[in-house]
């Protein structure tokens, strides 16, 4: 299983994003200078399928994925999906460019043994090449990633039981960053800037930041929307969000020793105006939402139904099947 890398025989695939309340499938190909949407499907997840990030009802999850695939009307079976960043350990490593594929794999395992907890046999280990802005042409920068093998195996089994074939297991933040950095030229942004993203779902809040095409920082916190609904205490809800945002921004800027250039919102569209207003009360940094499908064209048979969750992750996963964005 390729965690982060493209399977060498990949020709066409669908992105599969598994969220806490729904699954999304998206197909893309290259048409002209921009990706073209060839398929989209979505299915709601019933409560109780997950306990945190653990899959508790694999049969129900497989059924929802199967329904989303049927709705997409796609004949493509190959899937790129993602695991949560919180379930992975990652490190940047530097290795010689001249290594053969076998030697590179051996060096990756050696580096993994130095920085990951034993036993290594219980971990799924892989790597992804990242854009390197340094002048050192003799070395390459790799993002080393690992997670528990049984977590990957469970996810693979769920997708197989849905009648599909998982060939790429990505990391959710890397997928979202791929979808967003593709748009930087359109938004007149450049890779040297420090760009932050705030994501809020029904179960979590998360900040992550990019610079030089790398995810340099992430911070996540659970969010209990059910308790908020029961108490109807919106002021307490807003205070919790504001505290998380303020703490995250301070930690990020302290770590990077610089202020952010812009903050993007990755959330339910109906919440974006409220979140932008809230963040503007905390920081003078520009805040805006981002549409990962901004410049894409749409096949006539594809209907993008109203969706409560941002499509950034599934877009980043589907881009793994478009040649220009495979890495």
Local confidence band at 272 (pLDDT 50, 70, 90 cut-offs): confident
User: Is 316:174 a contact under the CB 8 Å cutoff?
Assistant: yes
Q: Which pLDDT score, from 0 to 100, does residue 325 have?
A: 58
In terms of domains, do 145 and 274 share one?
no
In terms of domains, do 131 and 196 share one?
no
**Structural domain boundaries, residue 162:** 1-183+292-327
Other residues' Cβ atoms within 10 Å of the Cβ of residue 149: 14
Q: Under 8 Å CB-to-CB from 57, ≥6 apart: which residues?
A: 46, 48, 49
Task: Please provide the DSSP assignment of 275-308 as one string.
Answer: HHHHHHTT--SEEEE--TTTT-EE-TT------S
In terms of domains, do 264 and 309 share one?
no
Please report which helix (H) or strand (E) contains residue 154, including its range.
helix 149-161
- Tell me: the pLDDT tens digits for 126-151? 887 776 555 667 888 888 888 888 99
Instruction: Kindly report which listed range (52-56, 193-197, 234-238) carries the lowest average pLDDT score.
Output: 234-238
Q: Which pLDDT score, from 0 to 100, does residue 282 have?
A: 93
Q: What is the mean pLDDT of residues 243-247?
A: 93
In terms of domains, do 174 and 261 share one?
no
Looking at the predicted structure, is the pLDDT value of residue 9 above 70? Answer: no
Q: Which pLDDT score, from 0 to 100, does residue 226 have?
A: 54
The share of the chain scoring above pLDDT 70, in percent, equals: 86
In terms of domains, do 115 and 256 share one?
no
Q: How many domains are contained in the chain? A: 2
In terms of domains, do 102 and 23 share one?
yes
In terms of domains, do 140 and 240 share one?
no
In terms of domains, do 215 and 305 share one?
no
Paired tokens of 25: 């499938």
Q: What is the mean pLDDT of residues 297-323?
A: 85
CATH of the domain at 218: 3.30.420.40
In terms of domains, do 276 and 299 share one?
no
Residue 147 buriedness (CB in 10 A; 0-12 / 13-18 / 19+):
buried
In terms of domains, do 21 and 66 share one?
yes
Local confidence band at 279 (pLDDT 50, 70, 90 cut-offs): very high
Coil vs helix vs strand at 3? strand
Cα-based distances in Å from 164 to 5, 187, 316: 19, 36, 19
In terms of domains, do 122 and 199 share one?
no
In terms of domains, do 137 and 195 share one?
no
List the Cα angle 138/323/27 in 5-degree steps. Answer: 140
Local confidence band at 54 (pLDDT 50, 70, 90 cut-offs): confident
User: Is 40:303 a contact under the CB 8 Å cutoff?
Assistant: yes
């Amino acid at each position: 299983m390729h965690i982060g890398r493209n399977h060498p025989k990949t020709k066409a695939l669908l992105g599969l994003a598994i969220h806490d309340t729904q699954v999304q499938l998206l197909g893309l190909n290259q048409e002209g200078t921009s990706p073209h949407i060839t398929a989209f499907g979505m299915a709601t997840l019933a409560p109780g399928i997950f306990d945190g990030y653990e899959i508790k009802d694999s049969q129900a999850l497989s059924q929802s994925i199967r329904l989303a695939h049927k709705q997409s009307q796609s004949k493509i079976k190959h899937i790129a999906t993602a695991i949560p960043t919180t379930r992975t350990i990652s490190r940047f490593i530097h290795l010689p460019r001249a290594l053969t594929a076998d030697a590179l794999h051996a060096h990756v395992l050696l580096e993994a043994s130095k920085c990951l907890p034993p036993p290594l046999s219980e971990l799924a280990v892989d790597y992804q090449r990242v854009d390197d802005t340094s002048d050192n042409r003799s070395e390459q920068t790799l993002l080393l990633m690992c997670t528990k093998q049984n977590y990957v195996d469970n996810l693979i089994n769920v997708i197989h039981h849905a009648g599909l074939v998982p060939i790429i297991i990505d990391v959710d933040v890397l997928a979202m960053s791929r979808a967003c950095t593709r748009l930087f030229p359109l938004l007149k942004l450049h890779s040297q800037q420090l760009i932050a993203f705030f994501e809020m779902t029904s179960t979590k809040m998360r900040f992550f930041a990019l610079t030089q095409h790398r995810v340099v920082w992430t911070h996540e916190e659970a969010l209990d929307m059910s308790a908020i609904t029961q108490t109807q205490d919106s002021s307490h809800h807003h205070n919790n969000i504001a505290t998380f945002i303020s703490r995250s921004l301070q930690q990020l800027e302290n770590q990077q020793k610089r202020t952010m250039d812009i903050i993007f919102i990755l959330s339910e569209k109906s919440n974006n105006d409220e979140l932008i207003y809230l963040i503007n009360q905390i920081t003078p940094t520009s805040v805006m939402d981002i549409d990962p499908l901004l410049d894409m064209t749409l096949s006539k048979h594809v209907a993008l139904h109203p969706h409560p969750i941002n499509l950034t992750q599934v877009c980043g996963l589907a881009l793994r099947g478009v040649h220009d964005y495979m890495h």
